[in-house]
């Protein structure tokens, strides 16, 4: 049985990921929250702009790298918790038949969380992962607020792609692999491309 994405999405939605009285969702060994995408986008893109305003355009790649790394850290912890959960072991693990399925299982969960419509494109186990997305909230939010971009803006999805490689092929266990891989967004809808494309390779 290959990964049945609609079953995974149904399963994740069946978990009723709802916040407690403080709004935090305590699941998978991490603290999650269900937030407004405009809020996250403002925080992220205005952070980048503030760094450029205060330090100059030379610092733009550093600001972007920091945002990607923060997402990668989050992905390592969140998806390690998800992969270790009884729900994942019961629902997704039995569908995994090969190396690609390991990634596709994580992508199905990523899609269930509603961040974008992410598609698997290519895997060279241990070396390289390519994912593509459409409808990501970062590219949509960026275009709505600032118009066309001259660079990829989907920092969260880039960090998550690198995080998947950390978790699957890093030398240690779970989040201790953070940063083994890096990711570049080589195409982005915010730049006018037909999709966003993420390529993760060893750092």
* Interface positions with Zn ion (CB under 5 A): 139, 154, 188, 196
How far from each other are the two terminal CA atoms of the chain, in whole angstroms? 33
- Closest approach of Zn ion to the CB of residue 34, in Å: 22
Task: Name which of 67 and 154 has its Cβ closer to Zn ion.
Answer: 154
Strands 117-124 and 30-33, sheet pairing: unpaired
Task: Name which of 155 and 181 has its Cβ closer to Zn ion.
Answer: 155
Q: Which residue has the tokens 């269930």?
A: 112
Task: Name which of 82 and 154 has its Cβ closer to Zn ion.
Answer: 154
- Closest approach of Zn ion to the CB of residue 32, in Å: 23
- Closest approach of Zn ion to the CB of residue 22, in Å: 32
Task: Name which of 101 and 139 has its Cβ closer to Zn ion.
Answer: 139
Task: Name which of 44 and 177 has its Cβ closer to Zn ion.
Answer: 44
Instruction: Mention every residue, 6+ apart, whose C-beta is less than 8 A from residue 39.
Output: none
Q: Which residue has the tokens 């060279």?
A: 124
Q: How many CA atoms lie within 13 A of 61 on its CB side?
A: 4
Strands 196-202 and 128-134, sheet pairing: antiparallel
Task: Name which of 48 and 139 has its Cβ closer to Zn ion.
Answer: 139
| Whether 122 contacts 129, CB under 8 Å | yes
């Amino acid at each position: 049985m290959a990964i049945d994405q609609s079953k995974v999405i149904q399963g994740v939605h069946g978990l009723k990921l709802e916040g407690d009285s403080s709004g935090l969702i305590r699941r998978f060994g991490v603290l999650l929250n269900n937030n407004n995408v405009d809020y996250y986008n403002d925080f992220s893109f205005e952070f980048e702009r503030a760094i450029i305003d205060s330090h100059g355009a030379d610092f733009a790649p550093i600001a972007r790298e920091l945002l990607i790394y923060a997402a990668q850290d989050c992905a390592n912890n969140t998806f390690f918790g998800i992969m270790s959960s009884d729900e994942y072991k019961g629902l997704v693990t039995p569908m995994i038949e090969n190396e690609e399925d390991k990634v596709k299982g994580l992508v199905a969960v990523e899609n269930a969380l509603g961040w974008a419509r992410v598609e698997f494109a290519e895997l060279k186990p241990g070396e390289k992962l390519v994912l593509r997305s459409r409808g990501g909230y970062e590219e949509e939010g960026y275009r709505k607020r600032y118009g066309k971009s001259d660079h990829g803006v989907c920092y969260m999805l880039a960090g998550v792609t690198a995080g998947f490689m950390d978790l699957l092929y890093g030398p240690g266990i779970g989040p201790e692999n953070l940063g083994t891989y890096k990711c570049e967004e080589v195409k982005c809808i915010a730049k006018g491309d037909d999709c966003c494309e993420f390529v993760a390779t060893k750092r």
